[in-house]
Amino acid sequence: MNITINDKVYEAEKGERLLDIARANNAHIGYFCGGNAICQTCYVKVLEGAELLSPLSEYEKALLSDNLLEEGTRMACLTTVEKPGTIKMVSAVEEVKEMFETNPPVLAGYAAKMGMEALVKFPETVAVQAGRTFDLWQLLTDVISGIGDALHLVLQAFAPTLSEKHESIESGHPQGIKLLRDTSEALLHSASRGADKERNHASTATKHRAAQNGVHA
C-alpha cells in the first residue's frame, strides 16, 4: 500500500509505525528520542485515512490534548498502519518549515498554541512517563540514531545548495570547491551509513521495549 507523507508517496506495509515509514524514506519528521515516545516531536496531522490506522491507545491519549486529537494529530512513534487504503499526513516539523518559508509571523502564535496544548496535558504526561522503565543504554543508542538521521537530512538539504552557490566561482577556486564537495560527500556518506545501521537496530529494539512497557507501538 502507499502512504503520503508531506506530499510525497511512499510504500508501506501493514503493522509498520508511521515513524518507521518516514525514517526509512528520509521524510521530514521529528524524533529526537529515537522513537521512544518521550520527546513528542513526531506529531503528524492525519489528513486522510485515519480509520486505517491503529486506534488511539491510553498512552497516546495521555500525551495529546483534546484539541490536537480533534485536529487529527497522532504520534508517529505510537501509530501503525492497520488496513490497506489511502493515507495522507503532514508532519508538525514540515508545517513549521512551511510557515517559516511562507508566513514567518504566524510562528509565534503556533508556538504559543502548541505550548498551551502541552501544558494542558503536562500532569498526565509526567505521570505516564514516570511509570515507564527504560534500558538507558538502548535509549542512548536510539537518541544517537535519531541525531544521526537528522544530520543526514541536513547534509542532504544543504549540500546541493552549497554546490550551487559556489559553482559560479569554481573556475577561480577549483581546489577549494573540490575540497568542499569532497568533504560534504564524505560527511553525507558517513552519516547515511551510520544512520542506516542504527535505524534498523533501533526500530526493532524500540518496538520490543514498547511492548514490554505496555505502550502500543
Q: What is the pLDDT of residues 122-163, one digit of tens each?
A: 888 888 878 877 666 665 665 566 666 666 655 554 455 445
Q: Please classify residue 129 by burial: count the beta carbons closer than 10 Å to its beta carbon, then call 0-12 exposed, 13-18 middle and 19+ buried.
A: middle
Neighbours of 52 (CB within 10 A): 17
Share of the chain above pLDDT 70, in %: 61
Q: What is the pLDDT of residue 169?
A: 45
- Taking alpha carbons only, the member of 160, 123, 142 closest to residue 42 is 142
What type of residue is 4?
A: T
State the Cα–Cα distance between residues 7 and 191, nearest whole angstrom. Answer: 25
C-alpha cell at 140: 542512548
In the three-class reduction of DSSP (H, G, I as helix; E, B as strand; rest coil), residue 29 is classed as: coil
Residue 92 has pLDDT above 60, yes or no: yes
State the Cα–Cα distance between residues 76 and 33, nearest whole angstrom. Answer: 12
Q: What is the pLDDT of residue 161?
A: 46
Phi, psi of 135 (to 5 degrees): -85, 105
Q: In the block, which residue shows the cell 506530499?
A: 7
Q: What is the pLDDT of residue 113?
A: 92
Q: What is the pTM of this model?
A: 0.65
pLDDT, tens only, 159-198: 554 455 445 444 555 555 555 556 555 555 555 555 555 5
Give me the residues paired with residue 87 across strands.
3
Q: What is the mean pLDDT of the chain?
A: 77
C-alpha cell at 115: 505550548
C-alpha cell at 120: 494542558
Residue 211 has pLDDT above 70, yes or no: no
Q: What is the pLDDT of residue 164?
A: 52
Which stretches does DSSP call E strand in the chain? 2-5, 8-11, 43-48, 73-75, 87-91
Give me the residues paired with residue 81 across strands.
53
State the Cα–Cα distance between residues 26 and 8, nearest whole angstrom. Answer: 11
Nearest 5°: CA angle at 92, between 109 and 128? 95
State the Cα–Cα distance between residues 198 and 34, nearest whole angstrom. Answer: 10
State the Cα–Cα distance between residues 28 and 90, nearest whole angstrom. Answer: 9
Lowest model confidence (mean pLDDT) among 35-39, 93-97, 147-151: 147-151
User: pLDDT band at residue 57, thresholds of 50, 70 and 90?
Assistant: very high
Q: What is the pLDDT of residue 158?
A: 47
Q: What is the pLDDT of residue 170?
A: 47
User: pLDDT band at residue 217, thresholds of 50, 70 and 90?
Assistant: very low
